[in-house]
Amino acid sequence: MDEHAETLRAVEHELTALLRRGRAVSWEVAREVHPNLEPNAYGLLLWLRRSDRIRLTDLAARLGIGKGTLSRQIRALETLGLVSRTPDPSDRRASQLSLTEEGQRRFDAARAARLEHIRRVLETWPAADVAEFARLLGRFNDAWP
Protein backbone atom coordinates (compact mmCIF):
# COMPACT_ATOMS: atom_id res chain seq x y z
CA MET A 1 0.00 0.00 0.00
CA ASP A 2 1.19 3.52 -0.79
CA GLU A 3 2.67 5.09 2.37
CA HIS A 4 1.23 8.51 1.49
CA ALA A 5 -2.27 7.03 1.11
CA GLU A 6 -1.95 5.41 4.54
CA THR A 7 -0.81 8.71 6.05
CA LEU A 8 -3.78 10.48 4.48
CA ARG A 9 -6.11 7.84 5.96
CA ALA A 10 -4.54 8.48 9.37
CA VAL A 11 -5.11 12.24 8.96
CA GLU A 12 -8.72 11.61 7.94
CA HIS A 13 -9.23 9.33 10.96
CA GLU A 14 -7.79 11.91 13.38
CA LEU A 15 -9.81 14.74 11.84
CA THR A 16 -12.97 12.67 12.17
CA ALA A 17 -12.22 12.05 15.85
CA LEU A 18 -11.42 15.75 16.40
CA LEU A 19 -14.62 16.89 14.68
CA ARG A 20 -16.72 14.39 16.65
CA ARG A 21 -15.26 15.67 19.92
CA GLY A 22 -15.59 19.23 18.69
CA ARG A 23 -19.32 18.79 18.06
CA ALA A 24 -19.80 17.44 21.58
CA VAL A 25 -17.83 20.34 23.06
CA SER A 26 -19.75 22.81 20.90
CA TRP A 27 -23.01 21.61 22.46
CA GLU A 28 -21.58 22.13 25.93
CA VAL A 29 -20.07 25.53 25.19
CA ALA A 30 -23.22 26.73 23.42
CA ARG A 31 -25.29 25.82 26.48
CA GLU A 32 -22.85 27.78 28.67
CA VAL A 33 -23.40 30.88 26.53
CA HIS A 34 -27.19 30.49 26.53
CA PRO A 35 -29.47 27.50 27.18
CA ASN A 36 -31.28 28.02 23.85
CA LEU A 37 -28.17 28.54 21.71
CA GLU A 38 -27.56 26.19 18.79
CA PRO A 39 -24.07 24.59 18.88
CA ASN A 40 -23.00 25.97 15.51
CA ALA A 41 -23.68 29.51 16.75
CA TYR A 42 -20.50 29.44 18.88
CA GLY A 43 -18.43 29.85 15.71
CA LEU A 44 -20.52 32.86 14.72
CA LEU A 45 -20.01 34.41 18.13
CA LEU A 46 -16.27 33.75 17.88
CA TRP A 47 -16.05 35.61 14.56
CA LEU A 48 -18.15 38.47 15.90
CA ARG A 49 -15.93 38.71 18.99
CA ARG A 50 -12.81 38.82 16.80
CA SER A 51 -14.28 41.31 14.35
CA ASP A 52 -15.92 43.74 16.78
CA ARG A 53 -18.28 44.86 13.98
CA ILE A 54 -18.80 43.16 10.64
CA ARG A 55 -21.30 43.24 7.80
CA LEU A 56 -23.45 40.16 7.31
CA THR A 57 -22.17 39.71 3.74
CA ASP A 58 -18.54 39.83 4.92
CA LEU A 59 -19.22 37.34 7.71
CA ALA A 60 -21.03 34.99 5.32
CA ALA A 61 -18.03 35.12 2.95
CA ARG A 62 -15.57 34.39 5.79
CA LEU A 63 -17.62 31.45 7.00
CA GLY A 64 -18.43 30.14 3.54
CA ILE A 65 -22.19 30.04 4.12
CA GLY A 66 -25.11 31.68 2.35
CA LYS A 67 -26.44 35.05 3.43
CA GLY A 68 -29.93 33.61 3.94
CA THR A 69 -28.69 30.88 6.26
CA LEU A 70 -26.52 33.31 8.17
CA SER A 71 -29.31 35.86 8.42
CA ARG A 72 -31.59 33.26 10.07
CA GLN A 73 -28.84 32.33 12.53
CA ILE A 74 -28.16 35.99 13.34
CA ARG A 75 -31.89 36.65 13.93
CA ALA A 76 -31.90 33.82 16.47
CA LEU A 77 -28.87 35.36 18.23
CA GLU A 78 -30.60 38.75 18.23
CA THR A 79 -33.69 37.19 19.79
CA LEU A 80 -31.49 35.79 22.57
CA GLY A 81 -30.02 39.26 23.15
CA LEU A 82 -26.50 38.20 22.16
CA VAL A 83 -26.09 40.10 18.87
CA SER A 84 -27.18 43.52 17.66
CA ARG A 85 -27.34 45.24 14.28
CA THR A 86 -26.40 48.86 13.75
CA PRO A 87 -26.45 50.90 10.55
CA ASP A 88 -23.20 50.75 8.60
CA PRO A 89 -21.80 54.30 8.60
CA SER A 90 -20.32 53.80 5.12
CA ASP A 91 -23.57 52.44 3.61
CA ARG A 92 -26.86 53.15 5.38
CA ARG A 93 -28.57 50.38 3.39
CA ALA A 94 -26.38 47.82 5.14
CA SER A 95 -25.92 47.01 8.79
CA GLN A 96 -23.07 45.88 10.96
CA LEU A 97 -23.29 43.00 13.39
CA SER A 98 -21.70 42.96 16.80
CA LEU A 99 -22.02 41.20 20.10
CA THR A 100 -24.11 42.93 22.73
CA GLU A 101 -22.50 43.53 26.12
CA GLU A 102 -24.39 40.48 27.39
CA GLY A 103 -23.24 38.49 24.38
CA GLN A 104 -19.62 39.45 25.04
CA ARG A 105 -19.91 38.60 28.73
CA ARG A 106 -21.46 35.21 28.10
CA PHE A 107 -19.14 34.38 25.20
CA ASP A 108 -16.02 35.37 27.15
CA ALA A 109 -17.04 33.20 30.11
CA ALA A 110 -17.74 30.18 27.89
CA ARG A 111 -14.54 30.74 25.93
CA ALA A 112 -12.47 30.92 29.11
CA ALA A 113 -13.82 27.50 30.12
CA ARG A 114 -13.05 26.10 26.66
CA LEU A 115 -9.51 27.52 26.68
CA GLU A 116 -8.93 26.06 30.14
CA HIS A 117 -9.93 22.64 28.83
CA ILE A 118 -7.54 23.00 25.87
CA ARG A 119 -4.80 24.15 28.26
CA ARG A 120 -5.30 21.04 30.41
CA VAL A 121 -5.17 18.75 27.37
CA LEU A 122 -1.94 20.34 26.12
CA GLU A 123 -0.24 21.07 29.46
CA THR A 124 2.19 18.16 29.15
CA TRP A 125 3.24 19.16 25.64
CA PRO A 126 6.40 21.19 25.16
CA ALA A 127 5.63 24.81 24.24
CA ALA A 128 7.30 24.36 20.86
CA ASP A 129 4.97 21.45 20.04
CA VAL A 130 1.90 23.51 20.97
CA ALA A 131 3.13 26.36 18.76
CA GLU A 132 3.80 23.95 15.89
CA PHE A 133 0.38 22.35 16.34
CA ALA A 134 -1.30 25.78 16.16
CA ARG A 135 0.77 26.70 13.10
CA LEU A 136 -0.07 23.48 11.28
CA LEU A 137 -3.79 23.72 12.12
CA GLY A 138 -3.76 27.28 10.80
CA ARG A 139 -2.00 26.18 7.63
CA PHE A 140 -4.50 23.37 7.15
CA ASN A 141 -7.48 25.69 7.71
CA ASP A 142 -6.06 28.33 5.37
CA ALA A 143 -5.65 25.74 2.62
CA TRP A 144 -9.18 24.37 3.01
CA PRO A 145 -11.37 25.72 0.18
Question: What is the C-alpha separation between 29 and 144, in angstroms, rounded?
Answer: 25
The residues facing 95 across adjacent strands are 87
pLDDT in tens, 4-27: 899 999 999 999 999 888 888 778
What residue ranges define each of the domains in the chain, with the CATH number in brackets?
A: 3-143 (1.10.10.10)
Q: What is the pLDDT of residues 50-64, one digit of tens each?
A: 988 999 989 998 888
Rounded CA separation 137/77 (Å): 28
Q: How many CB atoms lie within 10 A of CB 106?
A: 20
Does residue 99 contact residue 83 with C-beta atoms inside 8 Å? yes
Check: CB of residue 60 under 8 Å from CB of residue 70.
yes
Cα–Cα distance for residue pair 20/32, rounded to 1 Å: 19
Give CA separation, 108 vs 104, 111, 115, 141, in Å: 6, 5, 10, 23
d(CA 65, CA 57): 10
pTM over 0.85: no
Name which of 59, 53, 115 is nearest 84 in CA terms.
53
- Indicate if the pLDDT at residue 145 is higher than 80: no
